[in-house]
Amino acid sequence: MWIARSKAELEQQLATSPRPVVLVPTMGALHPGHAALIDLARKHAGPDGAVLVSIFVNPIQFDKPADLEKYPRTEDADLIICRNHGADGVFIPDAEDMYFDNRSITVTETHLSKHLCGATRPGHFDGVCTVVLKLFNLTHCDAAVFGEKDFQQLAIIRRMVRDLDLRVQIIPHPTLREADGLAMSSRNRRLTPEQRADASRIREALTLAAQKPSPSEILVTAREIIEASKLTKIDYLAIVDEENLQPTEQITRPSILACAVFYGEVRLIDHIRIPKA
């Protein structure tokens, strides 16, 4: 498995790379959820194609400098996971190499990012789109794998691919969960043991609420279960259209119940599909 630490090194490695190239973009702190993304990339690349993992904690998608600073960095363990799951190469650039000091062009999303996570994290999805587009260009990838856990991110990246005519196939992977139902996330390791034990209520709340017959009952049920803990603070709880992510009061199209919940400073997200009435 090769490692490229700059754009120039990556270019050199890719000069002799077989196709297809399947990219798994990550910010490191890899956990079994990422390992599953690499496995899926391996499957799509086939025995002759190349699986490439990028590890880059992208500064321009963090709205709070403290979050960027606290983001876990576990490169040695990450590389072991990449190797064990059949990655052919890992791209680990630094921010100075990725971004020019006087850069002035950014991808801007103007619709899907206005609600949910985008509403409280200004500029976050523009930062995500910008780095993902750069990674697509730098790696010349044919396909890229993204987790469904970040379903707003996935919807926005699909929209970027559509709107900018990118020739990259987007491959989704279902959310991986811990035994108690908590969605796997690099952030889980920042929870205290008490918060971690409590956090399974998020999944429980969404699952029970999604069975209720009306949107108002769905929202009330989920809120009651999440707020029954004194450790939680709801950032948002909403029903949105699965494709355009706009809030909806009638469930006439495939819809999602989504939430972001704070445990102290740690913000966890999750969602569930709501069956059509």
Active site residues: 34
- Residue 256: CB minimum distance to ligand PAF, A: 18
Which chain residues interact with ligand PAF by CB under 6 A?
25-27, 58, 61, 128, 131-132, 150, 153
H/E run at residue 97:
helix 95-98
H/E run at residue 25:
strand 21-26
- Residue 156: CB minimum distance to ligand PAF, A: 10
Residue of 211, 218, 205 lying closest to 270 (CA atoms): 205
Q: What span, in angstroms and rounded, lies between the C-alpha atoms of 100 and 59?
A: 13
- Residue 129: CB minimum distance to ligand PAF, A: 9
Question: What's the CA dihedral at 131, 166, 242, 113 to 10 degrees?
Answer: 40
- How many other β-carbons are positioned within 10 Å of the β-carbon of residue 163? 10
Q: Which is nearer to ligand PAF, 140 or 223 (CB)?
A: 140
Residues 6+ apart with CB under 8 A from 260: 116, 117, 120, 234, 235, 236, 267, 268, 269
Q: Which is nearer to ligand PAF, 55 or 237 (CB)?
A: 55
Q: How many CA atoms lie within 13 A of 89 on its CB side?
A: 26
- Residue 231: CB minimum distance to ligand PAF, A: 25
- Residue 118: CB minimum distance to ligand PAF, A: 13
Residue 89's Cβ-count burial label (10 Å; 0-12, 13-18, 19+) is buried
Q: Which is nearer to ligand PAF, 156 or 205 (CB)?
A: 156
Q: Which is nearer to ligand PAF, 185 or 248 (CB)?
A: 185
Residue of 109, 108, 110, 112 lying closest to 246 (CA atoms): 112
Asked if residues 51 and 88 have their Cβ atoms less than 8 Å apart, the reply is yes
